[in-house]
Structure 1
């Protein structure tokens, strides 16, 4: 999304934040999404172009991918109340199998997820593919194995491909395409027991999925983004109930709330979503923005909690 973001943001950045204050409000029936903290990573070395994020089970080690083919890893710092306050020194290296001298369309990493055995999945657009790396930092830098994907993934537009990959605790994989078809639905694929099943994802036509995570209870959270010249950049979080993921052919995201800094901070281009370990029965989330290596944008790391009103999700990460 590099070119589109740069073209639109010069206009969008002047739109008052209050112009879309009522967008993305949760309903009474949905879990409560609450903002916790923001860390502005500004122009820190290496922390640009971040498009995929994952956090280890320890809750303090973040791993990310950039849309130029680099892998990043850095510690997260929290205060005594569990509020994110900073990040530590960043290490970076090319993702395994990526040639940094090759055209960007061959190394545009857009999503990062960890499988239950600790191995990594990285999704790319341009040359649409999902690859699997061995566990740990060293595995992420070693040559991967390319997953067999449904044939129709190859027909996705070059810059609206595989931005969202989610992995459930049982190893189920969900992939959502950024592009929508003539019917307005985003093509979606679910992999269970080694087999791919075709699905679709329905949302407001202005929005497109940019990342997704499974909760321990099987619910799917989807990070969505919209652009318009009037309202600028808008991002929000939706939920697909576990029952729909399991049985419905067309999934529909239920809006939980806006993913944005608190006013008067401007909205930004959030592309990465990750789970932190649960605390006090609440789901904890991080969202990261992709600055597209542009001086007009920032790299922000936001922390949220998601609290289920009645029965919470299953314990565990």
Structure 2
């Protein structure tokens, strides 16, 4: 699929629109440009304690860049993510003198390899939609051909290989072809399901209209459900330091355009057999500086607050953008 940077200009030579070749076992350094966003715009709904800090619009002359599906931070600056076109992305965020997002640095790409160490020739096999980090392993969730596998070692992403698919408490054939595991998170210390992998689908519904989810591993492994609201789809999730779970949700229709929402689920409610719901912390529509928001992660601050970073999937379309937005969530009283 051609990247937006190529499609935008007929003056660029055809050869410059050809994605770079990444040699087996290597990673591709790329340059990423950033335009700063200072005003969210529109009239979004923000709950008390939630503040928009700023953001950046990202672009690159490398056609492989784009299609961000999930992002996880290894520390306050370094991140790892996946594209739904079957690529890893790693890099560092840059901040200005006031601590606001200013750009990306040290960005590198690598294909998600199969068990034989080969790059897949088919997007159907590498439609990566979710990511969770656990030590030197990365769990990646794929849809269309639904599965979750663990990649290692993360110290050398160009050579990271997948495990066999993880076992789930329900048959993955029941999942919607384009509505599989959009969220993977490791339950934090103190959670009833501490250390387990929590997997939530985007829009795969049971007979009661609730969304399939699972707890994989640990003594309380099993399935649970998430109650959907207002035609929003779940696109990612992240645990807060207090154990509550944040859901990133997206809605799109021709009539209403794109929407984004954050919902907070009580961590203690995530148990086998439960149907969980949560309060809306944030909601915005097309009038705000949002797009197809698909990735979310949390960076704890020393004062007890957290920074929430969300990224968008541009689908390699000239009509969409790759955005990285940042919010601050104050600690609850």
TM-score (norm 2): 0.78
Structure with higher helix content: 1
Matching of residue 174 in structure 1 with residue 198 in structure 2: yes
**More displaced 10-residue stretch of structure 1: 280-289 or 90-99:** 90-99
Residue deviations 1:128-154 (CA, integer Å, cap 9, x gap): 111112242415742111222234223
Instruction: Spell out the pairing of 1:196-235 with structure 2 (5 A cutoff).
Output: 196-235=221-260
Residue in structure 2 matched with residue 129 of structure 1 by the alignment: 147
Matching of residue 274 in structure 1 with residue 297 in structure 2: yes
User: What is the aligned counterpart of 1:102 among 121, 124, 146?
Assistant: 121
Q: Tell me, in whole angstroms, the C-alpha distance in 2 between the residues paired with 1:73 and 1:216.
A: 24
How far has the Cα of 1:281 moved from its partner?
Answer: 1.8
Q: Tell me, in whole angstroms, the C-alpha distance in 2 between the residues paired with 1:281 and 1:176.
A: 27
| Change in CA separation of 1:140 and 1:153 when aligned onto 2, cut-off 3 Å | farther
Residue in structure 1 matched with residue 107 of structure 2 by the alignment: 90
Secondary structure of 1:243's match? helix
**More displaced 10-residue stretch of structure 1: 35-44 or 134-143:** 134-143
How far has the Cα of 1:203 moved from its partner?
Answer: 2.6
How far has the Cα of 1:194 moved from its partner?
Answer: 6.0
Secondary structure of 2:59's match? coil
User: What is the aligned counterpart of 1:156 among 170, 175, 183?
Assistant: 175
For structure 2, list consecutive stretches of 5 or more residues without a partner in the other structure. 1-40, 189-193
Residue in structure 1 matched with residue 37 of structure 2 by the alignment: none
Residue in structure 1 matched with residue 160 of structure 2 by the alignment: 142
**More displaced 10-residue stretch of structure 1: 218-227 or 189-198:** 189-198
How far has the Cα of 1:193 moved from its partner?
Answer: 1.1
Q: Tell me, in whole angstroms, the C-alpha distance in 1 between the residues paired with 2:113 and 2:122.
A: 16
Residue in structure 2 matched with residue 8 of structure 1 by the alignment: none
The higher radius of gyration belongs to 2
Residue in structure 1 matched with residue 52 of structure 2 by the alignment: 35
**More displaced 10-residue stretch of structure 1: 287-296 or 143-152:** 143-152
For structure 1, list consecutive stretches of 5 or more residues without a partner in the other structure. 1-16, 311-317
Aligned length: 283
Residue deviations 1:40-70 (CA, integer Å, cap 9, x gap): 003453430110111112x111111111111
How far has the Cα of 1:191 moved from its partner?
Answer: 2.5
Q: Tell me, in whole angstroms, the C-alpha distance in 2 between the residues paired with 1:212 and 1:206.
A: 17
2:53 and 2:327 in contact (8 A); partners too = yes
Higher relative contact order at CA 8 Å, sep ≥6: structure 1 or structure 2?
Answer: 1
Secondary structure of 1:88's match? strand
Residue in structure 2 matched with residue 14 of structure 1 by the alignment: none
2:290 and 2:323 in contact (8 A); partners too = no
| Change in CA separation of 1:79 and 1:248 when aligned onto 2, cut-off 3 Å | farther
1:200 and 1:249 in contact (8 A); partners too = yes
| Change in CA separation of 1:132 and 1:195 when aligned onto 2, cut-off 3 Å | farther
Residue deviations 1:13-62 (CA, integer Å, cap 9, x gap): xxxx85xx46x553x6xxx22111111003453430110111112x1111
After superposition, the CA RMSD in angstroms is 2.3
2:220 and 2:271 in contact (8 A); partners too = no
